[in-house]
Amino acid sequence: MKRTLVIVVTYNEAANIGRLIPEILRHLPAASVLVVDDSSPDGTGDLVRAMAAHDPRIELLSRPAKSGYGSATFAGIQHAVRHGYDAVATLDADFSHDPADLPRLIEALATADVAIGSRYVGGIRILNWGVQRLLLSLAANSYVRLLSGLACVDCTSGFRAYRAEALRKVEFDRISSTGYAFLPELLFALNTGTVTEIPICYTERRVGQSKMGTGVIAEAMVRPWGLLLRRAFRAVSRR
């Protein structure tokens, strides 16, 4: 891939972002990093802005208010497509995704449109989760697969790489999720795109707070039913 943009969505990640960006660039020195920050009150945006002043590979997209993970990721993808990047990668800001795995995801785009850093393909690899949370995550992925028809094991992983060419074909105006439900909905919207899963080890955050609120969970429960309807419409239209 010629040009790669790594998107990091942040809200109150000042304790992590200053360490994460150098790690990303250490493993992908030719890439650029775009931080999409929803005006974090803890000064995350200010930290990134200061780093960007000394490194042209770092960019900040500051949004006026907290508007959700999905909409922030979409804003980052729009930026990547608009500026002619060839590959787009996404990872969480809290070190739950290891930046050392980024090159493997990018390399996988040689034969796929999307490479997912999967916690579950070929076995379970998660550190510092309780049994209840693990079972909830496994159930959520089964639920999404059942309703959407997606074939991948880890539909809800946000650790991904995409070919920009595939993203240009997505009808983003049909994606309505603003939270983490955006992740399976984007896979569904890619439709005929080739998806591969790369085994990674997921580590629960050690610093900061999770953004998984009740509204985000509710959206994640409801949105797959919309995918079921769209799946049925697809089947009918192909006849």
For 177-211, write each residue's pLDDT tens digit: 878 889 999 999 998 789 999 999 999 877 656 55
Q: CATH: 3.40.50.2300, 2.40.128.640, 3.90.550.10, 2.10.109.10. Which one for 4-237?
A: 3.90.550.10
Q: What pLDDT score was predicted for residue 219? A: 73
pTM, full prediction: 0.91
Return the higher-pLDDT residue of 148 and 36: 36
Residue 163 clears pLDDT 90, i.e. is over it? yes
**pLDDT band per the 50, 70, 90 thresholds, residue 221:** confident
Q: What pLDDT score was predicted for residue 72? A: 95
Q: What pLDDT score was predicted for residue 187? A: 94
**pLDDT band per the 50, 70, 90 thresholds, residue 173:** confident
What would the pLDDT profile of 30-71 be if each residue is shown by its tens digit? Answer: 999 999 999 999 999 999 999 999 999 999 999 998 888 999
Q: What pLDDT score was predicted for residue 210? A: 59
Mean pLDDT of 112-140: 94
Residue 175 clears pLDDT 70, i.e. is over it? yes
- The residue extents of the domains of the chain are 4-237
Q: What pLDDT score was predicted for residue 95? A: 95
Q: What pLDDT score was predicted for residue 81? A: 95
Mean pLDDT of 164-172: 93
**Mean pLDDT over the full length of the chain:** 91
**pLDDT band per the 50, 70, 90 thresholds, residue 83:** very high
Q: What pLDDT score was predicted for residue 214? A: 67
What would the pLDDT profile of 105-116 be if each residue is shown by its tens digit? Answer: 999 999 999 999
**pLDDT band per the 50, 70, 90 thresholds, residue 82:** very high
Q: What pLDDT score was predicted for residue 216? A: 62
User: What one-character-per-residue DSSP string does the chain give?
Assistant: ---EEEEEEESS-HHHHHHHHHHHHHH-TT-EEEEEE---TTSHHHHHHHHHTT-TTEEEEE-SS---HHHHHHHHHHHHHHTT-SEEEE--TTSSS-GGGHHHHHHHTTT-SEEEEESSTTS--EES--HHHHHHHHHHHHHHHHHH----S-TT---EEEEHHHHTT--GGG----STTHHHHHHHHHTT--EEEEE--EE--SSS-----HHHHHHHHHHHHHHHHHHHHHHHHT-
Separation of alpha carbons 45 and 204, rounded Å: 23
